[in-house]
Amino acid sequence: MKDEGYVELSFFSANKTGDSLLHTTRVNLMSTTTMNSLARRLEKNSQSIPWDEILTYITGKTMEIIRRGEPAVEIWPSEDDDLLPSYLLEPILYLKHPAIIFGDYSSLKSLMSLVICYIVQLPYHDNDLGLTTSPEPTSCLFLDYEDDPSSFRKRWSALERGFAKGTQAILYRRMTGTLCDSVEQLQRIVQDKNIGLVVVDSLGPAARGNLNDPEPAIKYHEALRRLGITSLTLAHTSKDQFTKKKSIFGSVFFTNLARAVWECKAEQETGEDEAVISLKHTKANLSRLHRPLGYRFTFEDRAIMIEKADLRGTSLSGELPLSLRIKDLLRGGAMEIKDISEALDANESTTRTAVNRLSKKKELIKVGNSWGLVIL
């Protein structure tokens, strides 16, 4: 109840000339010391009023409302409803839902989050990145648990020069407390600055505690829910020792409670001024899984440029759907399923299933024991 105990109280005195403000304060209703101190302060304005009783009544009613929670409401089917999701930035961010991008330390996920902020804030509609943003500009709040304002500004400035679409400010806050402990301060910022997207960099220090336990994940998403806006969280990875599959570091609830999860990987040679990244959609609650996105970053002394990249021919090609990889491989000629599997480092049974699906779509044709592309 620690977070819910804080309220903002304003006291007025009614008289013939109108209401006059006696006192405004933000207090923790659960702190006896604080409430006694407030009562003594109010008594200086009007000693005839039983302030102790009034504050006790306010505390009781407030806590009763909090414990009761939101009322149950009737929801009727609507002829206007469909299952198409609403996006703040299609296909990455569902509108007013939490999304997570996770990846290794050098995956450039933080830089990609700045790209997202730039596009939705401008808004940059005619971008060449395959991203569709909302018609109106969306103010962003960047919560930084890992860096400092100076380093952040340098990256933001370099990215702005790369886009060359005009200078714009982004609201930045260097964070030390957990998101849960800071949510009330953030609610005021969101309301005062009309924030539509909050970016958290990164999940570990923002949630804190034993991240393998469910409680930090539940409390973290509860705080995001209280903010009530679109959110993007950046997270580090862990690898399942049995499946070797990477996921968000910590409890499975970090994944389960997010509505969209993307895995970010990067390819960059030592000393090179270019890097290619892939964004692979690994979880979707409100839509189908989208195809992986590929981008190339080019780094100069004062600017960072970004453009779409074809993942084929890179070390990130394995992030593409197997069907696309099969069709790309067969451009060189027909092959048997065993050879296709070996070339793509894929399970033979999985490859056979993908080939059969492509055959039903009339995209592949069988020639003897081999499979080839249908030439239209």
DSSP sequence for 5-60: TEEEEEEEEEETTEEEEEEEEEEETT-HHHHHHHHHHHHTT-TTS-HHHHHHHHHH
Please give, one letter per residue, the 3-state secondary structure of 333-350.
CCECHHHHHHHHCCCHHH
18 — pLDDT class (breaks 50, 70, 90): low
Beta-carbon neighbour count of residue 338 at 10 Å? Answer: 12
The CATH number of the domain covering residues in 87-315: 3.40.50.300
pLDDT at 2 over 60: no
Residue with tokens 């990067």: 266
- Interhelix angle 179-193/214-227, nearest 10 degrees: 10
pLDDT at 241 over 60: no
Please return the burial class of 83, using the count of CB atoms within 10 Å of its CB with bins 0-12, 13-18 and 19+. exposed
Quick check: 356 and 364 in contact, CB under 8 A?
Answer: no
Go through the chain and tell me how many residues it has: 376
Quick check: 164 and 306 in contact, CB under 8 A?
Answer: no
Residue with tokens 């013939």: 16
Q: What is the pTM of this model?
A: 0.78
Q: 3-state SS of the chain: helix, strand, coil percent to 5?
A: 35, 30, 35
pLDDT at 317 over 90: no
Average pLDDT (261-272) is 90
DSSP 8-state code for residue 145? S
User: pLDDT tens across 331-348, in order?
Assistant: 778 888 888 888 888 888
For 157, left (φ over 0), alpha (ψ -120 to 50), or beta? alpha
Rounded CA gap, 168 and 333, in Å? 51
User: pLDDT tens across 273-295, in order?
Assistant: 999 999 999 999 999 999 999 99
67-81, 138-152, 206-220: lowest mean pLDDT where?
67-81
123 — pLDDT class (breaks 50, 70, 90): very high
Name the residue ranges covered by the structural domains of the chain: 6-68, 87-315, 321-373
List the alpha helices (DSSP H) in 122-228. 149-163, 179-193, 203-207, 214-227
Average pLDDT (142-167) is 95
300 — pLDDT class (breaks 50, 70, 90): very high
How far does Cα 36 stand from its chain's mean position? 42
**72 token code pair:** 């149950």
Work out the percent of the chain whose per-residue pLDDT is above 70.
95
212 — pLDDT class (breaks 50, 70, 90): very high
Mean per-residue pLDDT over the chain, rounded:
89
pLDDT at 120: 97
3 — pLDDT class (breaks 50, 70, 90): very low
Average pLDDT (59-83) is 83
CATH number among 1.20.1070.10, 3.30.460.10, 1.20.120.1230, 1.10.10.10, domain 321-373:
1.10.10.10
pLDDT at 263 over 90: yes
Quick check: 102 and 143 in contact, CB under 8 A?
Answer: no
pLDDT at 301: 92
**372 token code pair:** 């080839």
pLDDT at 352 over 50: yes
Higher pLDDT, 105 or 196: 196
